[in-house]
Amino acid sequence: MAYILLSGFVLPLVLQSSLVLCNPPELKVGFYQYTCPYVEVIIRDEMTKIISHVPSLAGPLLRMHFHDCFVNGCDASILLDSLPGLPSEKESIPNLSLRGFGTIDLVKAKLEQACPGVVSCADILALVARDVVLLTHGPFWDVPTGRRDGMRSVKDDALNNLPPPFFDATRNLFQFFIPKGLDAKDQVVLLGGHTLGTSHCSSFSDRLYNFSGTLMPDPSLDRQYVPRLKTKCAQGDTRTLVEMDPGSFRTFDASYYRVIAKGRALFTSDETLMLDPFARDYVLRQAGVAAAGGYPAEFFADFAASMVKMGSVQVLTGARGQVRRRCAAVNPMYM
Ligand SMILES: *[C@@H]1O[C@H](CO)[C@@H](O)[C@H](O)[C@H]1NC(C)=O
Ligand SMILES: *[C@@H]1O[C@H](CO)[C@@H](O)[C@H](O)[C@H]1NC(C)=O
């Protein structure tokens, strides 16, 4: 009996230490249940105020989580300021589409008041992304939490890990999604997130003026749409913002798939989804739902599932990383 008790006692200890060593804890819904029970209420309240005042922040805040997860995992490295001589991810070209760092700082400040040193910046990004989708009439999903914040942010990491708008969908899939454990469905579903927000002319102007060095527009762009885009984006314009889902860029819905189906997606990465049979089917099905004014139940469920999947890419959990006190800087050594 004693022997059984003893072995019963030893076994969990052995299991526990092996879990810590080779199998870090996974994210879970309600991670802050005891340590910061109102975390989601606090974030939702802040985001409700912010999005009602500045609805155009929804797109950038959704993309911030996406950029964070694609560059060395969802560890809030995207929020770190550069150090002298060491430019951070914030300084890289894709950052041009990112705004809303102030929003994250504001939310973090509220949480530091309520539960100092508890909620990671990486979790804040994931919860904020969910809330902006919900607040723009998109789906709700439970966000597993327990991410910890990374301590490294390097400009060139962003360049090498983010799918560029000018690559085609297949190339992006194999180079950027599959290595992260995301698949063809995640790609077509997550790109549907372009239903929110705007893009700089410079991200697609080669498709209007000089596609592949031909001095002609991209033939896959809707011919009637080209002159309209040209009036918005003069050649060389790096400032103007264009709605990605015109007329509905502040509402999370399936209508971006109609834009793609019509040949009006701004990015090569999105338009080339039509060249892949699986993605094309998906786009056309959702475009039909959007055209009928229907509730995009399939897309909403898929988007929620892909966001949870993306949100767990290369996360730091357990004792790895840290919980930053300020999202823009790693904690000083003594903390
Ligand atoms: C984005 O990068 C540019 C330089 O490429 C830099 O001047 C700018 O401050 C960065 N934006 C943010 C929000 O850090
Ligand atoms: C068009 O693109 C080609 C190749 O990308 C480049 O060499 C050329 O300078 C561009 N022409 C203009 C007018 O921008």
Q: What single DSSP character describes residue 56?
A: G
Instruction: Give the Cβ contact number of residue 44 at 10 Å.
Output: 17
Nearest by Cα to 104 from 78, 143, 135: 78
Rounded Cα gap, residues 191 and 86, in angstroms: 31
Give residue 22's pLDDT.
60
Contact predicate 232/201, CB 8 Å: yes
Instruction: Give the Cβ contact number of residue 57 at 10 Å.
Output: 21
Give residue 21's pLDDT.
52
Angstrom distances, CA of residue 247 to CA of 160, 194, 224: 33, 13, 17
Ligand 2 in contact with 247 (CB < 6 A)?
A: no
For 156-165, give one letter per residue: b (16+ CB within 10 A) or e: ebbeebbbbb
Ligand nearest to the CA of 238: 1
Nearest by Cα to 269 from 166, 153, 135, 134: 166
Burial grade of 303 (CB within 10 A; 0-12, 13-18, 19 or more): buried
Q: In a structure prediction context, what are the per-residue pLDDT tens digits for the chain, which is 335 residues long?
A: 333 333 334 334 444 444 445 667 899 999 999 999 999 999 999 999 999 999 999 999 999 999 999 999 999 999 998 888 888 887 775 555 578 999 999 999 999 999 999 999 999 999 999 999 999 999 999 999 999 999 988 888 887 888 888 899 999 999 999 999 999 999 999 999 999 999 999 999 999 999 999 999 999 999 999 999 999 999 999 899 999 999 898 999 999 999 999 999 999 999 999 999 999 999 999 999 999 988 899 999 999 999 999 999 999 999 999 999 999 999 987 55
At residue 170, what is the residue type?
T
Ligand 1 in contact with 90 (CB < 6 A)?
A: yes
Domain locations along the chain: 17-197+244-310
Residue 67 CA to ligand 2 centre (angstroms): 29
Give residue 86's pLDDT.
81
Residue 54 CA to ligand 1 centre (angstroms): 21
Residue 99 CA to ligand 1 centre (angstroms): 10
Nearest by Cα to 183 from 170, 165, 198, 192: 170
> Hey, whose CA ends up nearest to atom 2 of ligand 1?
91
Give residue 94's pLDDT.
57
Residue 273 CA to ligand 2 centre (angstroms): 26
Angstrom distances, CA of residue 313 to CA of 122, 188, 251: 12, 18, 27
Ligand nearest to the CA of 94: 1
Tell me the fold of 17-197+244-310: Peroxidase; domain 1 (1.10.520)
Q: How is residue 122 written in tokens?
A: 């990486």
Rounded Cα gap, residues 120 and 39, in angstroms: 11
Q: Which residue has the tokens 């999947």?
A: 309
Give residue 14's pLDDT.
40
Radius of gyration of the chain (CA): 22
Q: Which atom of ligand 2 is nearest to the CA of 212?
A: 5
Compute the C-alpha angle 309/310/315, nearest 5°: 95
Give residue 16's pLDDT.
43
Give residue 82's pLDDT.
82
| Backbone torsion region of residue 293, taken as left when φ is above 0, otherwise alpha when ψ lies between -120 and 50, otherwise beta | left
Q: What are the pLDDT digits (tens) for 211-257? A: 999 999 999 999 999 999 999 999 999 899 999 999 898 999 999 99
Ligand 2 in contact with 210 (CB < 6 A)?
A: yes
Residues 6+ apart with CB under 8 A from 305: 141, 189
Contact predicate 143/131, CB 8 Å: no
